[in-house]
Homo-oligomer: A and B are copies of this chain.
């Protein structure tokens, strides 16, 4: 298996883990969440709310595309648009209770996944892999 090149290994392992994450989310009642929603919701959670343009910059897509995604997530009751406190043109997107719940659930599942790997290869080895991946990101 490790005769595969690095890029294929990264692609395959990412695909497997993201699929597992969303399968678990679905089992736990969050069947209407897809990866892009996760990234968007997480950014909102970290920043305690975000404007459309902040989200567009973060995700690398247009503000129009963000607007559509936010429409979807608002319909599904994960987020809410509120008037911007200082800029009357703007709005800020914030999490609902269900939004906070899905963030929390996602973290829990990610921990389970890492724990499962620790059981298989050990905590030091996992930490090493994470450090190496961080190196790839920093040094390439």
Contacts and interface: CB of A to CB of B under 8 A. Distances in A.
Contacts of A127: 2
Given A13-B10, A113-B6, A129-B129, A121 B134 contact: no
A28 interface: no
Interface string A111-140: 001101100110001111111111111111
Interface residues of A, number: 41
B136 A117 contact: yes
A98 to B, nearest CB: 21
A116 B129 contact: no
Interface in A5-41: 5-7, 9-14, 16-18, 20-21
